[in-house]
Amino acid sequence: MYRLLSAVTARAAAPRGLASSCGQRRVHQRAGLPPLGHGWVGGLGLGLGLALGVKLAGGLRGAAPAQSPAAPDPEASPLAEPPQAQSLAPWSPQTPAPPRSRCFARAIESSRDLLHRIKDEVGAPGIVVGVSVDGKEVWSEGLGYADVENRVPCKPETVMRIASISKSLTMVALAKLWEAGKLDLDIPVQHYVPEFPEKEYEGEKVSVTTRLLISHLSGIRHYEKDIKKVKEEKAYKALKMMKETVAFEQEKEGKSNEKNDFTKFKTEQENEAKCRNSKPGKKKNDFEQGELYLREKFENSIESLRLFKNDPLFFKPGSQFLYSTFGYTLLAAIVERASGYKYLDYMQKIFQDLDMLTTVQEENEPVIYNRARFYVYNKKKRLVNTPYVDNSYKWAGGGFLSTVGDLLKFGNAMLYGYQVGLFKNSNENLLPGYLKPETMVMMWTPVPNTEMSWDKEGKYAMAWGVVEKKQTYGSCRKQRHYASHTGGAVGASSVLLVLPEELDTETINNKVPPRGIIVSIICNMQSVGLNSTALKIALEFDKDRSD
């Protein structure tokens, strides 16, 4: 460019007339006439200079500071712009997590690693987790596959079977009816469902009530139909628990006379056990029971009662805990009669109120977006699809589908109702909870004579397992208060855990409920214990929250 300008300038040594057009310039040059004048050279120099400036500007544009979006420059060549590292725009999907999530980065990383280990240990195809802190969802993630055959990955929106967490949902319907005065928890169920026959136990007439059904104290059977096997197993567990309790007390108090008492007790109990062969024979687990794989479609809860209504009670109502999904089938019938609505219609209204828009009953025909497939390992340890099942006989006890996000919403609604009474004095503008504080306290109060199979430290309450706050020794293990429910279905496992913040009147200022950690985990593999994992995750987030 510089040489071209120099040559043109050299030829313009003397002043000449200005050519009137480009054609005239070419003729003038071909005829060997004197060089053109300064004016033409100046114009040419100015034009070439502008072109050079545009070229240089295009090359430097990538290094210029970021500008607000504008219309694309038609003269700018993409090839002239070397790739540059650009800062993330606020709206970009690659934008770093918001500050609240970054506060829990350590807990998220630790919990993700824990879930990977659990997933690998049990060989689960997929697992989804969700965590909320003080009512705000701070983490949700899917690991593995929702559909192995089609390589569909798990994601927060993945829909899976929640199994027995359905019992906790049904409890909300019962509680709303009780609050409205439409349901008495302590009168015989025949008042609402006369189709369920009156019962006797060992020749004595007994009453089954709604309250007993809720806490699995009714004596109604579960999937195992052999009453002898069930009673043997219960006796064996009771004996084992008594031995452990006495041994613990002996070690704790160190009294020699207790040793003698324990020896005497042990001898008596072992003799009694031998007489009735107390160690039970091999009892089928739930996944070996035929009723778990029913394919029959039941039109309503009343029709489902025929599966068990004529069977004898296994225990006297109120005397012993016997977990029973069929008991919740009877509760669904009670909801229908007390509310005047079909059970599923009444539940859908509750789900709408709680903003649980992806929670529905499981049916095969409807197209349910993001529904996972469910898996099990066969006898050859190969992953296979689970057989088709129809859960219409147990909507209330284990028949709903949901996502971790919906379960978090449900957990927060329960926690809000549980805590809002504490905050009323400091904040009168708080909205009421979906359930009243006294109702939630009743629901989360452990019931005597019950068991919590997924955590031996706890007791069953009203459709929730509850572990109470406890600390035996100073500077040692401190047991936190929490409520949870697990679920186990054909090809699925689940847990919903609520860890409330430990509040007192001095710490509630400038705070609003719900205060605590909610963890939900769903998995498309059966027989996966998830409660301890959920509790560990909750404690990880609680630690970061405190820090």
For the chain, the straight-line distance linking the first and the last C-alpha, in angstroms and rounded, comes to 66
Taken as a whole, the chain contains a residue count of 547
Spell out where 23-135 has E strands: 126-133
d(C-alpha 44, C-alpha 5), whole Å: 9
Q: Which of 336, 262, 264, 351 shows the shortest CA–CA distance to 305?
A: 336
d(C-alpha 504, C-alpha 518), whole Å: 20
Angle between helices 38-60 and 2-11 (to 10 degrees): 170
Q: Within 10 Å of residue 4's Cβ, how many Cβ atoms?
A: 11
d(C-alpha 342, C-alpha 24), whole Å: 96
Tell me whether residue 164 is one of the annotated catalytic residues: yes
Q: Which of 368, 474, 340, 463 shows the shortest CA–CA distance to 146?
A: 368
- Alpha carbons within 13 A on the beta-carbon side of 31: 10
| Backbone phi and psi for residue 535, each to the nearest 5 degrees, phi listed first | -65, -40
Question: Which of the residues 164, 339, 402, 494 is marked catalytic?
Answer: 164
Query: Hey, what are 379's tokens?
Result: 């006898």
d(C-alpha 465, C-alpha 496), whole Å: 10
Query: Hey, what are 459's tokens?
Result: 């007791």
Looking at residue 493, the DSSP 8-state letter turns out to be E
What sign results for the dihedral spanned by CA atoms 185, 191, 197, 200?
Answer: positive
What sign results for the dihedral spanned by CA atoms 335, 340, 341, 346?
Answer: negative
Q: Give residues with Cβ within 8 angstroms of 488, minimum separation 6.
A: 163, 164, 286, 494, 526, 527
Query: Which residues are catalytic, by number?
Result: 164
